Amino acid sequence: MKTILFIVGARPNFVKISALTRAVASYKNRVRCVLIHTGQHYSDEMSKVFFNEFHMPEPVANLEVGSGDRIVQTHLIMERLEEHLKTIKPDLVVVVGDVNSSIAATLAAIRFGIPVAHVEAGLRSRNWQMPEEINRVMMDHLSSLLFTTESSAASNLRSEGLDMTRVHFTGNVMIDTMNQFEEMAEKSDVLERLGLKPYNYVLSTLHRPENVDNPERFMELFGALCEVQSFIPVVVPLHPRTQEATRRIGVEWNERFSPRAIPPQSYLDFFKLQRYARFIMTDSGGIQEESSVIGVPCLTLRTETERPVTVEYGTCEVVGVHREKIVDAAKRAMRGEWKRRKAVIPMWDGCAANRTIQIMVETLESGRLIPPNALAHYATTPLERETVAPKVDIMQILEREKTF
Ligand code: UD1
């Protein structure tokens, strides 16, 4: 029997892995599954609450790497994962999304010659200042199986010269989790607890380093939220990074004219807050996807998105990071001059995890999984790469990573 090792580390991972572990349960006679938590997110409110709500399987190990410098975090995960890779001897390591835990586990696995499957592959913001963009590119180039959520991903991978037989368009596993927990979320009493009236508040989240770690940018966004607060209540579940930035910069939430900050929310409470918001203002990629599916207007507080499908089919608009533009867009959303349809996005049908797991298991059983040391032979020919792909030099990326 083959063994699949799933890696989780940070909050958005739990939502995705939960769908995959539910789907793999129907293959328990064919594959053995093991889960490891890196401990990148460790607080109860950033980790434990999700395991409880999703009834996720217990991880066999928690690497307890915690927070810290990105290079150190990656190094610790690689080092601590090593002994588990030796004892578990997985046939496939599954990583999701673009967080540090996922790239670290990818690097550790390929060092041992273990093939990697990347779920949510191929997304590109083309913004090299984002640690996530560097993680995505490296993970895709090192993975034997790539599962994509939207059609832009395959174009990105093709243009980087990747062998397309590794790529499978199976859809968005986060939406599987949404479908699964929709009814339970409806029962949450979070609106009553917070004294919020349906469709009479705005939900906002900010956590990207480029938005919150830069005081000037942060104050611009905070100013925009304060202005929106002058015409509709704004509630902001504060990510720990944002809490830290707030302390550093000396921003006062919960004052007369400022938005209301609340602690990070559980999955079910946050789902309910999203669903009944008049509109959402966020820099999170996952929330962009979720708001599109539930049909709530979403102002993306960034200058680009790696998820163009949420703009093309969904309720998102990339409104940038300037106060005036953000407030203008919020006024439009307030007046109802916004897309509010529930997006029907190809392959976001609640069955993405089943399709993904089926391909993983069948590929494993067929013996056709490309081992990491053979990946280079499966890239497109140098001539094709020369003509179609912008050059992606992994060594150059690693070098830049050090200088951030
Ligand atoms: C990480 C991901 C990001 C994802 C986000 C979701 C990377 C590069 N980034 O960013 O893509 O959208 O998770 O939350 O992996 N902290 C706590 N408790 C915790 C975890 C973190 O207090 O459980 C604090 C720490 O002080 C830490 C800060 O939050 O310094 C940031 O955490 P970190 O893991 O570095 O990255 P995120 O900003 O959460």
Alpha carbon of 263 to ligand 1 centroid (Å): 14
**Mean pLDDT of the region 303-329:** 97
Give residue 121's Cα distance to chain centre: 11
Distance between Cα 10 and ligand 1 center (Å): 7
**pLDDT per residue over 116-131, tens digit each?**
999 999 999 999 999 9
> pLDDT at residue 229 above 90?
yes
What confidence tier does 61 reach under pLDDT thresholds 50, 70, 90? very high
Atom of ligand 1 at shortest range from CA of 97: 11
Q: What integer pLDDT is reported at residue 388 of this predicted model?
A: 46
Mean pLDDT of 74-81: 97
CA of 241 to the centre of ligand 1 (A): 6
Ligand 1 pocket: which of 8, 11, 14, 67 to mutate (most atoms within 8 A of CB):
67
The whole-angstrom separation of Cα 133 and Cα 392 is: 12
Query: Does the pLDDT value for residue 318 go beyond 80?
Result: yes
Average pLDDT over residues 182-209: 97
